[in-house]
Amino acid sequence: MQINILAIESSCDDTAAAIIQDGVVLSNITAGQEAHDQYGGVVPELASRAHQAHIIPVVDLAFKKAGLSPADIHAVAFTRGPGLIGSLLVGASFAKGFALSHNLPLIEVDHMQAHVLAHFAEDPKPKFPFLCLTVSGGHTQIVLVRDYLDMEVLGTTLDDAAGEAFDKSGKLLGLGYPAGPRIDRLATNGSPRFPMPLPEIPGLDFSFSGFKTSILYFLKRELQANPNFIEENLSDICASVQHGIIQILIKKIKKAARQHHIQEVALAGGVSANSGLRAAFESLGAQEGWNTYVPAFQYCTDNAGMIGVTAYYKYIKGIFTTQDVGLYAR
C-alpha cells in the first residue's frame, strides 16, 4: 500500500504544505510573507495572522498539485518546533483539526531534524554516517547524522544564527528583510576588500554577535569620514560580510569532519541557498576529498516537503503523537 502524508510547516514566516507519497514529494507549496520587509525582521504577530490567511489556500493547492484528495491521506504531519509560538500554533492546530476530522494519525516533526532530512527529498542522498552543517535564520548547528532519526548536535551557535548575521548586517545596510538573499546578489558584483574580524570560539561552536557588532562599528567609523560610504561601496561591503560569515562556517565544518573522520558532508537550512557558501563548501570538499551534498533551493529554505519526508521515516517506524502534544518555541 502507498503511504500518503499531508505535511504542514509554519514555524516562522513561511506557510507551507506538502504531500509526500512513500517518502517522495508530490507537491511542495510555500507562501512567503512580505509584511516583515519594512521592519527588518519577522514580526511574530504579523506572522501568525498571515499564516491564518494562507494555510487553507496553501493546503488546497498542495492537494491539487499532487492530484490527491483528503480521503487519500494516511497521516498528518506538522512542525512542533523550534519556532515562533504563534506561528507554530496555526500549523499545529490546522494539522490536529484535519487529523481529528478525517480520523488520521498525527506525526510531530522537529524543524531542525527536518532541515537535515531535506537531503532525502531528492538524489543524490548522503550515506550514513554524515555530517550536516545546518544554517538557518534561527539556528546554526553541526549535526552528526547516524541514521534518519539518530542525530547528535556536535556544535551550535552561542548567540546569533548565521542567517541572523546576514539579516542584521543587511538591516544596518538598509536592505530590508530577509537580507541574506539580497547580500548574496549584491556580493556577486563586489570584492571582499574590507576584512572583518573573525571570532576565536573553542570546539565546534559558533558565535556571530561580535561579528555583527564589529560591522556596526566599522560602518559608524567609515560613515563619519564619508556619509555616502554605504551607497558608494555596497557591493564590496556585502561581499566582505558574506566572506566573513562563510569563513566562520567553513572553518568549523572542516574541523568537525577531520575530528570525526567523516567524508560525507552536507549543507542544509536557508543560508545554504547562499551562492558564496555553496561554492566555498564545494571547493573545501574537493580539497578534503569529501562527498558533498547541497539540497535544491526549494529544500534549503523553510518548506513542508522536508517535514513530510521526516514524517515518512517516523511513520514507517510507527512513531506517532497525540492531540494534546505541546509545542516548543525557539
Task: Tell whether residue 178 is a contact of ligand KG4 (CB under 6 A).
Answer: yes
Q: Considering only 1-9, 15-23, 219-227, 264-272, which stretch makes contact with ligand KG4 by CB under 6 A?
A: 264-272
Task: Tell whether residue 184 is a contact of Zn ion (CB under 5 A).
Answer: no
- Closest residue to ligand KG4, judged by C-beta, is 270
- Cross-strand partners of 78: 8, 108
Binding partner of 87, given Zn ion, ligand KG4, none, CB within 5-8 angstroms per partner class? none
Q: Considering only 30-38, 117-125, 174-182, 199-207, which stretch makes contact with ligand KG4 by CB under 6 A?
A: 174-182
Applying CB under 5 A, among 4, 10, 33, 136 the residue interacting with Zn ion is 136
Q: Are 7 and 307 in contact (CB under 8 A)?
A: yes
Cell of 113: 531534524
Buried b (16+ CB within 10 A) or exposed e, 32-62: ebebbeeebbbbbeebbbbbbebbeebbeeb
> Minimal CA–CA distance to 95: which of 111, 112, 79?
79
| Bond from prior residue into 202 cis (ω within 30 degrees of 0) | no
Q: In what order do the strands lie in the sheet with 150-156?
A: 150-156, 140-147, 130-135, 264-268, 291-293
| Site string (97-126) toward ligand KG4, x via CB under 6 A | ------------------------------
Q: Considering only 55-63, 193-201, 271-279, 315-323, which stretch makes contact with ligand KG4 by CB under 6 A?
A: 271-279
Task: Tell whether residue 157 is a contact of Zn ion (CB under 5 A).
Answer: no
Nearest-angstrom CA–CA distance, 183 and 194 = 15
Among positions 300-319, residues that touch Zn ion (CB under 5 A) are 302
Q: Considering only 18-26, 36-44, 87-95, 295-303, which stretch makes contact with Zn ion by CB under 5 A?
A: 295-303
Sign, CA torsion 19/22/25/31: positive
Binding partner of 301, given Zn ion, ligand KG4, none, CB within 5-8 angstroms per partner class? ligand KG4
Q: What minimum distance in Å lies between the beta carbon of 186 and ligand KG4?
A: 11
Q: Are 33 and 46 in contact (CB under 8 A)?
A: yes
Task: Tell whether residue 310 is a contact of ligand KG4 (CB under 6 A).
Answer: no
Q: What minimum distance in Å lies between the beta carbon of 14 and ligand KG4?
A: 7
Task: Tell whether residue 163 is a contact of ligand KG4 (CB under 6 A).
Answer: yes
| Bond from prior residue into 57 cis (ω within 30 degrees of 0) | no
Q: What minimum distance in Å lies between the beta carbon of 191 and Zn ion?
A: 30
Q: What minimum distance in Å lies between the beta carbon of 159 and Zn ion?
A: 18
Binding partner of 108, given ligand KG4, Zn ion, none, CB within 5-8 angstroms per partner class? none
Applying CB under 6 A, among 155, 190, 244, 269 the residue interacting with ligand KG4 is 269
Contacting residues toward Zn ion, per CB under 5 A: 136, 302
Contacting residues toward ligand KG4, per CB under 6 A: 12, 136-138, 163, 166-167, 178-181, 184, 269-271, 273-274, 301-302
